Chain A
Amino acid sequence: MKRYLKLSLIVIAGVLAVGLYSSLYTLEEGIQAVVVQFGRPVGETVTEAGLHLKLPFVQHVLRFEKRLLFWDGDPNQIPTKGREFIWVDTTARWRISDAKKFLENVASEEGAQSRLNDILDSVVRDQVSSSELVELVRSATWVIPDEDLLRNVPKEQEEELKREIARGREEITRTILAEAQKIIPQYGIELVDVRIKRLDYVESVREKVYERMISERKRIAAQFRSEGEGLSAEILGTMEKELSNIRSTAYREVQKIHGEADADATQIYGYAYNRDPEFYAFLRTLESYEESANPNSVMLLTTKSDFYQYLKSATPPTLEPSILTKDASVPILSTTP
């Protein structure tokens, strides 16, 4: 008898202990819980961390994240409005805002992930396809580059760089967020934000872009070289001009000095010789006879000449200035070639 009492006491204590254990539960910080009774949620969602009570055995606790969670989209090849195919990699932050709704609609994080995939992929696709690539890359705060930077850019690209960005990446992501937020709350999910993490050309386009970049660089390089050659030609031209100037100025100066000297000399000669032009002519002619004597020349003189007048007779001729008359004695100079 005593033994049974002891046994039942032990059983009761055990049941009490299990019951107590089953009616208490702890909730971690950052976790929220839904109490479920026979599969049906009861009461409010428990969001406060700590020790909590519930009905033992009939109720059990389902825990959900209260923290901010991430959604990482699978990169998608999406054509833009300009028909360029690009890889778009988006990422989003979300949290379980209504745990009961979440439990009813998607049950688990995996379920939520797949719903988010469906919704966000389609919204992102819509927005990217209706935007130009530049709108996706640039922001509304795009500053039109100044002339200094535009100088290195081809003309056809310049127009495009000068374009005002109406929407820009932020606006597009805001639209994506707003569009997605219209649908998502029914799952008990709050979408906090969506961001375009990566944007990249597809492989074939990237090669083309690299080729364009290379040709652009080559163009700039050619421009630099040509500028160098142009400036070099300019310098050489200026040099030639300067040289011509220096040389011709010098020539002018030389000619002027020569001319002045010649004039001075002429004046001096003229003044002196003008005192007796006939005597000058006589003297100068005699000098030139001597100067122009050629060792090959043969001279023919008549005996009537002054020099040989005594050859035939010693009588003094009438002393007339026959030397100066033309027919008296004309020295004939013949030079053999």
Chain B
Amino acid sequence: MSELKEPTRNGQDGLNDAFETIGRSFKNLRKRTVLMLIAAFALLVTLWTSWFTVQPEETGVVQRFGKVIYSAEPGLHFKIPCGIDTVRLVPTARVLKEEFGFRTLSSVPGQKTQYQPGDEHTDESLMLTGDLNVIDVQWIIQYRIEDPVRYLFKVRDTPKTIRDTAEAVMRRAVGNRLGSDVLTTGRVAVSSEAKEEIQQILTSYEIGVHLVTVELQDVTPPDTVKPAFNEVNESRQDKEQTINMAQEQANREIPKARGVATQSISEAEGYALERVNRARGEAARFESILTEYLEAPQVTRRRLYLEAMTGMLAGINGLYIVDEDQQAMVPWLSMKSNTQPAVGGNRLP
């Protein structure tokens, strides 16, 4: 920098000289700086690539010239820089999930989980059951990467392989059962059977994955058939209702009939009591009269007769007293009889 400030003394030559000096030293300076910068950059890159951190849920797989040399636990680690050692981070502690027949759009804590609307994933969930019906089974699998080295280097497209296997196994398990079974009681059996079989196949692929769970979600008949299924449920309710109504009628009528029966029996008993009592009373009355009658039969007899006749004659419409010797009274009687006004058909009880 001092050269730049040096004053010009010798005219043209001096000026040229000075320029040359400035140019040379400037060139030297630039070269050194560039070299320094490159060196610094290289050092920085070297330092920067000589360490790595592994997050708590991860495992780091360290490769030297492509060959796996060790797996790193969570924490800070050093490695040979400049691409000689490389690290792949695999989330081994996390439980990974695959969904079949539906997709979760978002699941924010404290909010309702949102699912993708529509039925574009039904090709994954529609399957044939053992009775050759179609059923819509949505399910999930959860798995954990148990062996990151195997997970990375034994199978390519690992998630695709897991999905394919899960689908094939689930369809086989559902196909080996009746549709009604899968819809109701067979759910648990299907998922546990599928889990066992999927794990077995994945283990044979040496994929390094451990299945946590296989869970059936919505298991339903296809949409077109759903109303018919609902109708069965309705008919089951109808059946109960019809039975209940009949039972209700029976419950209403039988106790009532029992009551009416008891009533008529009681009434009959009342009748019996009355009948016998009346008989007793009338018998007693007759016996009393008879006792008195036997004291004076002739007189009593006539008295009773006359009393009765008096009473009767007071109550009738007309009386004809005919001489013993009178003949041909009938035409006369009938004429009189015809003139009688008709007064109801009052019959005696």
Question: Which residues of A approach B to under 8 Å, CB–CB?
Answer: 26-31, 48-51, 65-70, 72, 91, 93, 133-134, 137-139, 141-142, 145, 149, 152-153, 157, 161, 169-170, 192-193, 195-201, 206, 209-210, 213-214, 217-218, 220-225, 227-229, 231-233, 235-236, 238-239, 242-243, 246-247, 249-251, 253-255, 257-258, 260-262, 264-266, 268-269, 271-273, 275-276, 279-280, 282-283, 286-287, 289-304, 306-308, 311-312, 319, 323, 334-337
Contacts and interface: CB of A to CB of B under 8 A. Distances in A.
B333 A257 contact: no
B276 A51 contact: no
Interface in B81-107: none
Given A246-B258, A283-B304, A296 B346 contact: yes
The secondary-structure label for the interface of chain B is helix
B264 A195 contact: no
Query: What 9 A-B pairs have minimum CB-CB distances, sorted nearest first?
Result: A228-B239, A261-B272, A250-B261, A272-B283, A265-B279, A217-B228, A30-B153, A50-B67, A221-B235
Interface of B: 63-68, 123, 126-134, 149, 152-157, 160-161, 164-165, 167-168, 171-172, 175-176, 178, 180-181, 201, 205-207, 221-222, 224-225, 227-229, 231-232, 234-236, 238-243, 245-247, 249-250, 253-254, 257-258, 260-262, 264-265, 267-269, 271-273, 275-276, 278-280, 282-284, 286-287, 289-290, 293-294, 298, 301-302, 304-309, 311-324, 329, 333, 336-337, 340, 342-343, 345-348
B322 A249 contact: no
A293 B267 contact: no
Nearest to A260: B272
A293 B164 contact: no
Nearest to A222: B235
Nearest to B130: A138
Nearest to A232: B246
Contacts of A233: 246
B257 A225 contact: no
Contacts, number: 360
Contacts of A197: 164, 167-168, 171
A326 B93 CA distance: 130
B292 to A, nearest CB: 11
A312 B127 CA distance: 124
A298 B320 contact: yes
Nearest to A142: B176
A311 B315 contact: no
A29 B228 CA distance: 56
A305 to B, nearest CB: 9
Contacts of A70: 156-157, 160-161, 164
A48 B67 contact: yes
Contacts of A276: 290, 293-294
Contact of A68 (B154, B302, B346): B154
B276 A265 contact: yes
A224 B43 CA distance: 84
A29 B269 contact: no
A282 B301 contact: yes
A210 B225 contact: yes
17 contacts: A29-B67, A70-B160, A195-B165, A228-B240, A238-B250, A257-B265, A265-B276, A275-B290, A279-B290, A292-B348, A294-B317, A294-B346, A294-B347, A297-B316, A300-B333, A307-B309, A319-B298
Nearest to B238: A225
A268 B206 CA distance: 111
A195 B174 CA distance: 15
Nearest to A90: B168
Contact of A28 (B63, B164, B264, B293): B63
A92 B272 CA distance: 98
Nearest to B316: A297
A199 B309 CA distance: 113
A210 B164 contact: no
A195 to B, nearest CB: 4
Contacts of A214: 224-225, 227-228
A136 to B, nearest CB: 8
Contact of A149 (B181, B227, B318, B340): B181
Contacts of B316: 293-295, 297-299
A145 B306 contact: no
Contacts of A142: 130, 176
B314 to A, nearest CB: 8
B65 A50 contact: yes
